[in-house]
Amino acid sequence: MLHKKKIGVLVVAYNALSHLVSVLDRIPAQTWERIDEVAVFDDASKDATYELAKGYKIVNNLEKLKIYRNEHNLGYGGNQKKGFAYFAEKGFDVVVLLHGDGQYAPEMLADMYTPIIDNQADIVLGSRMMDEYGGALRGGMPFYKYIGNRILSVWENKILNMNLTEFHSGYRAYSISALQQVNLANCTDDFHFDTEIIIKLNHFNFRFLEVPIPTYYGDEICHVNGLTYAYDVYQTVKSYKDTVSGYRTDHTYQEFHTEDYPLKPYEYSSHTLVNNIIRGVDKQILDIGCGPGAVEALADAERNIFIGLDKVAPPDKDRFRQFIVHDLEKTLPLRPSQNKVFDYILLLDILEHLINSDQILRDVHNLATPETKIIISVPNVANIYVRLSLLFGQFEYANRGILDKTHVRFFTKASLKRWITNHGFEIEQELYSIIPLNEIIKQRESNIILKLANHLLYGLTNLFSGLLGYQLILVVRKK
């Protein structure tokens, strides 16, 4: 033990007959003294990797060396899962991942686990892109792999809001306690497991640290198809982004999905556009289908009187002067003679969820006075995203957005206006939220390029509202 921490080394091996002895030989004697166990997990190799490892243990009389063979090939990611579970079950504190093919330097093991032992990091990544050992190209990394690595890493940093020099090194050290807080069972068994585990650990804000490592490319057999790997990395990052944004839930990241619709405070979102309308002093506002109170969180609740109405009370009911629990598929429990006159009635992102939405409109028509403004927002099913998806034969429901799986009605600009006027309302104002670049690009509100893009998109959306409008927003009055 070092600092009373148990350190393990997981050597993943597949057909590593030519390199495994060299890898084990190169582990420094001082490192052997400090670590508690080196476990070789042979992933059902077709050669004699397992027998060689067993013989090496006997010849060198290494009590700390353990050899295991998987009955069936589990894949690169599957072998890691089994190894991590093994060290967690045995009460280890740190595990270092080392490849049995010699691509990563065993001499660097102490550099990998020490930052975790010293509580400087939860995850340590060995980076071949740092310059201390001459960089990746001087170490023999093929140029096409170098370019692909750099492009993917830059993109992943941008999407995941990280700052790593390399995402795709297989030399890593993990705090076991960190690993135990993420779900590895639903991660892939393939090579992009390394990306998925970074994504999940980063989601929980664990501390990452990179250390420079030398690059080595020799005669080891590469089992990775570069194009397939790049595609898999792209897809898993996109799936994570879609899941946390609520567009769809990917099996790998299903634990990060939330049912609540988040507040959209960015410029030209539906919440911001509606808030610009209701901003004022002492307005009586009825919010039908208010959910957790996203509009109320953005609006000046101290200067407006909000009455919320939904089937479940939100955790923060203080945003409302009054909250009424009610099944929205049933007739509204409010009558004009029993309540104050409302300045605004909000029907935001709720009509598309209701089978009985015609009844809601009739109730609102009876409840409103000619002075009451009703603000309605629904998603635009004719948005360019849906049109292009249909062009390529796709109509995929999601957890959020235009094709939310809970939507029972869909509207275009023309059909919404016709439907509203048929219920006895006249349209005063039409607004259109933009395609949510902020959620797609994941940049800060202050990003100047994003702000300019949003301004440009808003102008185009007003010109081509039926095509580019993301949500259709109508301000109407009772005729």
Whole-model pTM: value is 0.64
* CA atoms of 236 and 248, how far apart (whole Å): 13
What is the structure's pLDDT at 300? 58
pLDDT, tens only, 417-433:
999 999 999 999 999 99
Q: How far apart are CA 49 and CA 308, in angstroms?
A: 67
Q: What is the 3-state secondary structure (H, E, C) of the chain?
A: CECCECEEEEEEECCCCCCHHHHHHCCCHHHHHHCCEEEEEECCCCCCHHHHHHHHHHHHCCCCEEEEECCCCCHHHHHHHHHHHHHHHCCCCEEEEEECCCCCCHHHHHHHHHHHHCCCCCEEEEECCCHHHCHHHHCCCCHHHHHHHHHHHHHHHHHHCCCCCCCCCCCEEEEHHHHCCCCCCCCCCCCCHHHHHHHHHHHCCCCEEEEECCCCCCCCCCCCCHHHHHHHHHHHHHHHHHHHHCCCCCHHHHHHCCCCCCCCCCCCCHHHHHHHHHCCCCEEEEEECCCCCHHHHHCCCCCEEEEEEECCCCCCHHHCCEEEECCCCCCCCCCHHHCCCCCEEEEECCHHHCCCHHHHHHHHHHHCCCCCEEEEEEEECCCHHHHHHHHCCCCCCECCCCCECCCCCCECHHHHHHHHHHCCEEEEEEEEECCCHHHHHCCCCCCHHHHHHHHHHHHHHHHCHHHHCCEEEEEEEEC
Q: Would you state the pLDDT for residue 304? A: 78
Residue 10 near residue 96 (C-beta atoms within 8 A): yes
Predicted local confidence at residue 351, as pLDDT:
95
Domains (range + CATH), the chain: 7-256 (3.90.550.10), 270-478 (3.40.50.150)
pLDDT tens-place string over residues 97-107: 999 998 899 99
pLDDT of residue 255: 84
- How far CA 313 is from CA of 317, 378, 382, in Å, comes to 7, 22, 33
Buried b (16+ CB within 10 A) or exposed e, 271-300: bbbbbeebeeeebbbbbbbbbbbbbbebbe
Query: Distance between CA 149 and CA 34 in Å, rounded?
Result: 33
Place of tokens 């009955």: 71
Pairing of strands 304-310, 283-288: parallel
Q: Which stretches in the chain have pLDDT values below 50? A: 1-2, 221
Distance CA 48, CA 443 (A): 51
Q: Residue 165: what pLDDT?
A: 94
**What is the per-residue pLDDT for 1?**
47
Residues contacting 318, CB < 8 A, separation 6+:
none
| Residues contacting 257, CB < 8 A, separation 6+ | 243, 244, 246, 249, 399
Distance, CA of 426 to chain centre: 42
* Structure-token pair, residue 139: 């170490």
